Amino acid sequence: MTQPSLSVVVPVFNERNNVAPLVGEITAALRGRIEFEVVYVDDHSRDDTLAVLTALKADVPELRVLHHQAQSGQSCAVRSGAKAARGTWIATLDGDGQNDPADIPKLLAARDAAEPAVKLFAGWRVQRQDSGSKRWASKWANAIRRRMLRDDTPDTGCGIKLFEREAFLDLPYFDHMHRYLPALMQRAGWKTVSVPVNHRARTSGVSKYNNLGRALVGIRDLRGVAWLIARSHRTQVREL
């Protein structure tokens, strides 16, 4: 297989019915456009998600499958995928099928048109297909985050993103960090861009989050990220 320039990383937990359709959409969106690989990270699913993924490898040469020996969360799964990825750029998608793989070429086009200092292209769900309570909670969470972190990003919770692998792996790692990538990239001295993307209703499986749980964890995380930003210091380095 040719060395890919793009790795599509998809974290999954109990998504057996969404795996095959999403893999098919990813390959349809990217074959003939770019050399790519698809890296699925199974976060120790309790259903047969892993078996479905393993069977798909026979028909999808671009597919690679990683398996967490213990359930470790979405941020850990994204990082596991990024560390194993062979591409210099990484696109992420949620495994529930609500992100549209057809938007990946749009993010790649935005990257190609941007200045080199932009290392993250974040999806922006302008028309979310979620419940009213979920949209309301997300609206207020985004407003609070933008006020505290000043990351100028309308939607950090969108699972579809495109970022440079090296820049991502240089960021401080912590649980739930995937929700704060724009602020963390900006802290590292890079620029970020939000790109409007499609969003779809979930057709199978159930959400792994609830509004109260997100809120309680989010308060602690916001304080931590704000502390990281306040304590950051960057300087130019010149080799003699």
Domain boundaries, the chain: 6-230
Selected from 3.20.20.140, 3.30.360.10, 3.90.550.10, 3.40.50.10210, the CATH number assigned to the domain covering 6-230 reads: 3.90.550.10
Whether the Cβ atoms of residue 141 and residue 218 lie closer than 8 Å to each other: yes
196 has pLDDT over 90: yes
Q: Which of 60-64, 112-116, 182-186, 218-222 is the least confident region?
A: 218-222
| Predicted structure pTM score | 0.88
46 has pLDDT over 60: yes
231 has pLDDT over 60: yes
70 has pLDDT over 90: yes
Q: CB 239: neighbour CB atoms within 10 A?
A: 3
Q: Phi/psi zone of residue 150: left (φ > 0), alpha (ψ -120 to 50 degrees), beta?
A: left
| pLDDT at residue number 219 | 76
Q: Strand 36-42 to strand 63-67: parallel, antiparallel, or no bridges (unpaired)?
A: parallel
Residue 4 carries which DSSP code?
P
Give the C-alpha separation, 223 to 221, whole Å.
5
- C-alpha torsion angle, residues 187, 170, 44, 93 (rounded to 10): 60
| pLDDT at residue number 213 | 54
